[in-house]
Amino acid sequence: MMRRLKRALAPSGRSPFFSQTAAVLTLPMALAYLGLAWTVTHYFYLISPIWPSASVAAAGVMLFGRAALPGIFIGSYVANNYLMQWSPLGAAIASCGNALGPLIGTYLYRKITTEDYFDSTKTVGLFMLMQGGVASLFSALVGVLGLSLMGQAAHAGSWGTFLSWWVGDLTSVVMLAPALYLWGKWLYLGERYPHEQEGHRELVLTSVMILGGSLAIFGFPSVGSVLHIGSMALVLPPLVWAAQRYNPRIALTLFATLYIIAMGGTILHRGPFGEFDLGAALTALQLMGASIGSGILIASVLDFQRRKVTTHLREVNETLAERVAERTLALSMSESRMRHMLEMTPMPILVTELTTSNILFVNDECLSLYGMTRAQAKEVVPKDLWADPRDREEIILRLKAGEAIRNYEAAFKGPQGDMVWFSMAVVLTQLDQKEALLFAFKDISAHKIREANLITQATTDELTGLHNRRQVLELYHRLIEQPSHSTEELTLCIFDLDHFKNINDTYGHLCGDQVLRTVAEIAQQSLREHDILGRWGGEEFILILPGTPLRKAHLLIERLRQKLSEMTILCEGGNFVLVSASFGMVGGVLDQTGLSADLFDIWLSQADAALYDAKNKGRNRIETHPPHFL
């Protein structure tokens, strides 16, 4: 029975409107759509600034194509007509928009690519554009038309109504639809994530931190404090952790649950936005959530790509090792036969003397891989080609200890002076009555480059090339874990470009980007090699100066301030821009008592306060915490 149900619900972008799949889906889709709509209609009349049902519609069409449309239309019509008290005509028109919007988004997505959703950063961007942008825009336009036909001209003609509708659908789709889609694929296709975490304790702890933190933040009554608003950032580290450790389905489900808790608390006038106007608070919360959700989704997809590359390499290496083992056993019968079969082996093979590393045998595949002729190979001593000679020594020690060497990755000096990476299987053998090492190679240079690029994308700010916020935090934690730094003084500095918004408004964002890049270059040139510099957000940068007392750091940062204030930046179009920056500094001594991680947040808050003090005192200056320390 379950197999027949899964076959009936098999995803298909070409399903007819009234197929077997549509018949099975209609009632569940309608109930899911109606159930989510029911949760918000208690608080809003005619128009709701939040509409989680849009995520059901988007995920349904992404999974099942046109077969999901009848259920979406029925659920939407009942919600609009009976729950929101729309007229039958207005409800029908709005329901057409709610059903056709996701279909249009899916159609445009498939016109551009055949890749599955959330397989790469490209498909994430297309999902946000087509389902989040185009589909929601279409639904909002048709919905406003429905309002006008049911006599609500004041609402229909309001720009705020249209914007609220669009933002509500867009954010619901971006934050909830990915989790629904991935759960649908897992339930009906049984997809398994590469190297998925098997242990549950870490997942339970991460979930408790995210959900418990969100309940604490959005469950308590609003106190109207800026700190209450800032406390929302506390759930970001465990969210990023989940995105890097678990499959996107789990990470996005945790984020979607957090979003639902935040929305529920705000509707009940609790949490950081409890004292604000409900409509404006929900819209602001949705925009913040959409931005964070996009980041979590991209981080999960980047990690997913890395895991796929790792899985592919592992499969290739396992196959390679098995083939080498089988052939080595057969070739041990005779050296002549061994040479013949090694030459015929369709993979690069190299045999070197154990002690001297002189070449005893090399096949054509290996020569081709390394770009050498046999004459050139005679002049080469292979042990000189290892990028790290300790790799060869380790392999020999492990082989002599009886270990099997499979999937061993090492870097070699390439024929053009570049670096190449090989995955190899190595066995001890004999050839020409000499102890020898037999290597079977696989070129994995392209995979290593791709893996390095993924790591760079995850740790580097794309515009300036500096560390991003996540990498700055990682480097700080590495710093405090080093016993040698336990009694060192450390200075933390936040600096912000003065009147940067005016530069963007006057000369354009391209000029603003050029200013940020130039400031980053000047700052890097002004700092020492072991200093940590990152872009904290917008036009704000962060400096961590290890082993540097506050007085000494002040001299270094003053030189940076002077360089920036004396600098003139030429933007495209021939515009010259003058820049300056305000700095906030704080310093202290690290310790190993377990408080260093908490000190960062304290110091960051104090440096931020000093920065605002510098702004209030006229900008282009340095202030410390406590004030007048120097």
10 Å Cβ neighbour count for 346? 8
Give the integer Cα–Cα distance in Å for 22 and 14. 12
Candidates 118, 108, 120, 7; CA nearest to 64 is 7
Q: Which residues of 589-614 are buried (b: 16+ CB within 10 A; e: fewer)?
A: ebeeeeebeebbeebbebbbbbbebb
Torsion of CA 427, 429, 431, 437, to 10 degrees: 40
Q: Are 179 and 249 in contact (CB under 8 A)?
A: yes
**Angle CA(259)–CA(261)–CA(267) in degrees, nearest 5?**
100
Nearest Cα neighbor of 33 from 65, 73, 5 is 73
Token readout for 168 is 């509500």
Cβ atoms within 10 A of the Cβ of 393, count?
A: 12
Burial class (CB in 10 A: 0-12, 13-18, 19+), 201: exposed
Are β-strands 349-353 and 434-443 bridged in parallel, bridged antiparallel, or unpaired? Answer: antiparallel
CA separation for the pair 263, 126 (Å, rounded) = 26
Confirm if 175 and 290 have CB atoms less than 8 A apart.
yes
630 within 8 A of 554, measured Cβ to Cβ: yes
Question: DSSP code of 355?
Answer: T
Give the H or E element holding residue 325: helix 278-331
- Quick one: CA dihedral 116, 121, 126, 127, positive or negative? positive
Q: Are 304 and 247 in contact (CB under 8 A)?
A: yes
Cα–Cα dist 471/476, whole Å: 8
3-class DSSP assignment, residue 493 = strand
CB atoms within 10 A of CB 331: 19
Asked if 367 and 454 count as a contact pair (C-beta separation under 8 A), the reply is no
A 10 A CB-CB count for 615 gives 16
Compute and round to an integer the Cα radius of gyration of the chain: 31
DSSP state of 116: P
Lookup: tokens for 44: 């809003």
Q: How far apart are CA 87 and CA 85, in angstroms?
A: 7
Helices (H), 113-247: 121-127, 136-149, 153-156, 159-189, 201-219, 226-230, 236-245
Residue 420: φ, ψ to 5°: -125, 150
Active site residue 539: yes
Cβ pair 536, 520 in contact under 8 A: no
CA distance 180 to 59: 6
Give the residue among 315, 318, 183, 305 at the shortest CA–CA distance from 251: 183
Catalytic residue among 365, 489, 539, 623: 539
Percentage helix, strand, coil, to 5, in the chain? 60, 15, 25
Residues classed as catalytic: 539
